[in-house]
Amino acid sequence: MTTVETIGRIRRAYFVQRQSVREIARRLHVSRKTVRKAIEAEDGKFIYDRTVQPKPKLGAYVEELERLLAENERKPRRERLTLIRLFEALRAQRYEGGYDTVRRHARRWQREEVGRTATVFRATEF
């Protein structure tokens, strides 16, 4: 990962000291592509604009996965299926995507659904 300090060094070397991209890359031990990104970026900020993570293979199976997750959540803890078992259940239904996609979606679902329904008992008197 490129730090703010490294980006500052790159921009200073290029704009103030007039060093070449190749020389900066060699001295700072970064790739020329990284040097070019730092030089071309406004205010020295790397910008990555991907607002939506596409899920082309999981798309048709999202409802089924969420149904399995909800069903799994209602079971006692020791009877619940692991994410690998849920992935295998989707594979049995001809899902061709990867395990990581299923895992990421399941974790996001758990944070949103389970975290929202959790209740807390708080003693008000001792």
The burial of 123, by beta-carbon neighbours within 10 Å (0-12 exposed, 13-18 middle, 19 or more buried), is given as exposed
Under 8 Å between Cβ of 108 and 65: no
Can you tell me the distance from the alpha carbon of 93 to that of 88, in angstroms, rounded to the nearest whole number?
Answer: 9
Q: What is the pLDDT of residues 27-46, one digit of tens each?
A: 999 999 999 999 988 776 76
DSSP classification of residue 80: P
Q: What is the pLDDT of residues 48-107, one digit of tens each?
A: 677 777 778 888 899 999 999 999 999 999 999 999 999 999 999 999 999 999 999 999
User: Between residues 106 and 116, which one has the greater pLDDT?
Assistant: 106
Spatial neighbors of 80 by CB under 8 A, at least 6 apart, are: 72, 73
Give the predicted TM-score (pTM) of the model.
0.54
Radius of gyration of the chain (CA): 24
